[in-house]
Amino acid sequence: MKKEITRLQTNARMSQVVVAGGVVYLAGQVPMTQHATITEQTIEVLKQIDGLLESAGVDKTHLLTANIWLSDARYFDEFNRIWDVWVPEGNAPTRACVQSPLMRAGFDVEIAVTALA
Q: For the segment 59-115, what is each residue's pLDDT rounded down to a tens digit?
A: 999 999 999 999 999 999 999 999 999 999 999 999 999 999 999 999 999 999 999
Q: Report pTM.
A: 0.95
So what's the pLDDT on residue 33?
87
Residue 1 confidence (pLDDT) above 70: no
First-to-last C-alpha distance (Å) of the chain: 20
How far is it, in rounded angstroms, from Cα 112 to Cα 97? Answer: 11
Nearest to 84 by CA among 71, 73, 95: 95
Q: How confident is the prediction for the chain on average, in pLDDT?
A: 96
Q: Say how far apart CA 32 and CA 19 lie, in whole Å.
A: 24
Is the pLDDT score of 30 beyond 90? yes
